[in-house]
A = this chain, B = another copy of it.
Amino acid sequence: MSLIVVGSMAYDAIETPFGKMDWIVGGAATYAAYAASNFIKPINQVSIVGYDFAQEEMDELRKRGVNLEGVEVVGDKKSFFWSGRYHLDMNTRDTLVTDLNVLADFNPIIPDSYQGSEFLMLGNVLPSLQISVVQQLKTRPKLIAMDTMNFWMDNALPDLKKLLTMVDVLLVNDSEARQLSGQFSLVKAAKEIQKMGPKYLVIKKGEHGALLFHGDKVFFAPALPLEEVFDPTGAGDTFAGGFIGHIAQTRDISFENMKTAIIVGSAMASFCVEKFGPTRLKEIRKTDIDERIRQFIDLVNFDIQLV
């Protein structure tokens, strides 16, 4: 029972209508690992960081069962840095700075100790690197999930298309699903994308929830209506971490269980946005998660008698 998480570990500078944070840990794989660590150990992390990545952060991750053998530390370069400013609606943001730094040299090597991992979450990096990870695994994982972004659709589409034939689950947001499929209707987009490879498609719609498509089946989970969305950074990666974490914990890759995984992912994302960066993810415990999942049940549960 183990999970490989591939992706960036970074530092961010974030500005929201509620405040400003000049230097806080970030990166897709960081958020995914913090979220997934509530459900499964070990998490076999694959990433690259610079000399500036804090030892305390590494220790914190290790304490939660995150194996860092696959995280390359580059002694003479800085970690990937991203800076962004959110608009008042919190759904849109401007990227102010993207300093790739070590990420420009990322060439993931899967340690021997990671071989045999049953689950794989490919965070958003260059599609050729995602392909390389899959190809390095001697036994195909039970389930491979991947994230990507519009930038790769514009700049690395052939590799992305090849990768899509190798994975089981694609997680993207609504505009990415539209761009990839060329379809505006998300129902039509889901059909097109399933033809490209992944038999399961998760479309993340931020504050408007998430959809899971599989064949003709569809499942919807809302986002929890919150009084305050403090910082949406990492919410999608946290969702992915909760999603794959629940599946890895239960070792059940049925559509029914994936529905539950979507709820777990939504619950984790609802914590993420409550404080800057991954701060809130480090505070919560199992009782908090269970309570939050109960709120989701109350939010959508209804009884109806068809007579």
Binding site for B on A (CB under 8 A): 88-89, 184-188, 205, 208-209, 211, 217-222, 225-229, 256, 259-260, 262-263, 290, 293-294, 297-300, 302-304, 306
CB-based nearest B residue for A229 = B185
Known: A185-B226, A185-B229, A222-B209. A260 touches B290 (CB 8 A): no
Residues in B neighbouring A263, C-beta threshold 8 A: 302, 304
In the docked arrangement, what's the CA distance between A185 and B225, Å?
8
Chain A binding surface SS class: mixed
- Interface pair A211/B185, CB less than 8 Å apart: no
What are 17 residue pairs bridging A and B, where the CB atoms are less than 8 Å apart in the complex? A88-B184, A185-B227, A185-B229, A186-B225, A208-B208, A217-B298, A219-B298, A219-B299, A220-B299, A221-B300, A221-B302, A260-B304, A262-B302, A263-B304, A290-B306, A294-B306, A300-B300
- Interface pair B218/A220, CB less than 8 Å apart: no
Residues in B neighbouring A89, C-beta threshold 8 A: 184
- Interface pair B303/A260, CB less than 8 Å apart: yes
Known pairs A219-B302, A259-B302, A293-B304; list 13 more (Cβ under 8 Å): A89-B184, A185-B226, A185-B228, A186-B225, A187-B226, A211-B225, A218-B225, A221-B302, A256-B302, A259-B303, A260-B303, A263-B302, A263-B304
Of the residues B187, B220, B228, B229, contact of A300 by C-beta under 8 Å = B220
CB-based nearest B residue for A307 = B290
Residues in B neighbouring A256, C-beta threshold 8 A: 302-303
Residues in B neighbouring A302, C-beta threshold 8 A: 219, 221, 256, 259-260, 262-263
Name the distance in Å between A200's Cβ and chain B's nearest Cβ.
15
In the docked arrangement, what's the CA distance between A79 and B225, Å?
41
Name the distance in Å between A284's Cβ and chain B's nearest Cβ.
15
Residues in B neighbouring A205, C-beta threshold 8 A: 208
Residues in B neighbouring A211, C-beta threshold 8 A: 225
In the docked arrangement, what's the CA distance between A235 and B217, Å?
24
In the docked arrangement, what's the CA distance between A225 and B303, Å?
21
Residues in B neighbouring A303, C-beta threshold 8 A: 256, 259-260
CB-based nearest B residue for A302 = B259
Residues in B neighbouring A294, C-beta threshold 8 A: 306
Of the residues B188, B222, B306, contact of A293 by C-beta under 8 Å = B306
- Interface pair A299/B184, CB less than 8 Å apart: no
In the docked arrangement, what's the CA distance between A256 and B262, Å?
25
CB-based nearest B residue for A226 = B187
Known: A294-B306, A303-B256, A306-B290. A222 touches B225 (CB 8 A): no
